[in-house]
Copies of this chain bind each other. A is one copy, B any other.
Amino acid sequence: MSGAGAPGGRLGPGALGALFLVGAVGGLIGDMCHVVSGTTSYLEDPLPYVWRSQLWFPLMVGGGTAALGWIRVRFGPVADDEPVGGETLRQAVLMVAAVLGLYALTALVRGEPDEVGIVLVYAVAALICGAFARRPVDLACGLIAAAFGVTTEIVLAAADVFEYARDVPQVAGVAAWLPGLYLAYGVVAARLGMIAARFG
């Protein structure tokens, strides 16, 4: 009944801050996997490093997570079958763990035959989308994340801000499995937005 989660609802500052934090910390953990495995390398470091990442990276992922959650709550319908109570925390843990596992998997497959890594990453991404998306709007958020995220990385790679290792299969300068990672991330960010809406 709360306006926070109703159709056309808006997430408050606390909810947006929580989404930003989850996205930023998750982004740092995932990016660490990419950097230590040599999957990606920063070529310019105008900003300080946080852990293994240039400061702009966690800000981008955190901001993207908050934005996707806001979009989902603002434009999407609220399901009557949303999980309640402790169930929300369980869902959040499962979703965040799934995306972090997929992130680490994209680092693990470096050195494997290109096609094997690509099939494995897209298969797990499809499992995450299939398991956690509840409505078409959740998948739409995944597509938005893939479009914006991949485009941003293509631009930054073209500008020599960072690069993918030469042995990582690439399209337009970014990893061929990248859309799958962003798709799963976007679906989970949307669902985290719905959970955050319950808490304000």
Q: Interface on A for B, CB 8 Å cutoff?
A: 29-30, 32-33, 36-37, 90, 93-94, 96-98, 100-101, 103-105, 107-109, 112-116, 119-120, 122-124, 126-127, 129-131, 133
Q: Tell me whether A119 and B37 are in contact (CB under 8 A).
A: no
Q: How far is the CA of A97 from the CA of B127 in the complex (A)?
A: 6
A interface secondary structure, majority: helix
Q: Tell me whether B98 and A36 are in contact (CB under 8 A).
A: no
Q: What distance in Å separates the Cβ of A131 from its nearest Cβ neighbour in chain B?
A: 7
Q: Tell me whether B116 and A33 are in contact (CB under 8 A).
A: yes
Q: Tell me whether B116 and A108 are in contact (CB under 8 A).
A: yes
Q: What distance in Å separates the Cβ of A139 from its nearest Cβ neighbour in chain B?
A: 11
Task: Tell me whether A104 and B130 are in contact in the complex, defined as CB-CB below 8 angstroms, given that A36-B113, A37-B116, A112-B37 are known contacts.
Answer: no
Q: How far is the CA of A36 from the CA of B108 in the complex (A)?
A: 18
Q: Tell me whether A32 and B115 are in contact (CB under 8 A).
A: yes
Kindly list chain B residues whose C-beta atoms are within 8 Å of the C-beta of A116: 33, 36-37, 104, 107-108
Closest to A136 in B: B86
Q: Tell me whether A93 and B126 are in contact (CB under 8 A).
A: yes
Kindly list chain B residues whose C-beta atoms are within 8 Å of the C-beta of A115: 32-33, 36
Kindly list chain B residues whose C-beta atoms are within 8 Å of the C-beta of A108: 109, 112, 116, 120
Kindly list chain B residues whose C-beta atoms are within 8 Å of the C-beta of A124: 97, 101
Q: How far is the CA of A30 from the CA of B115 in the complex (A)?
A: 10
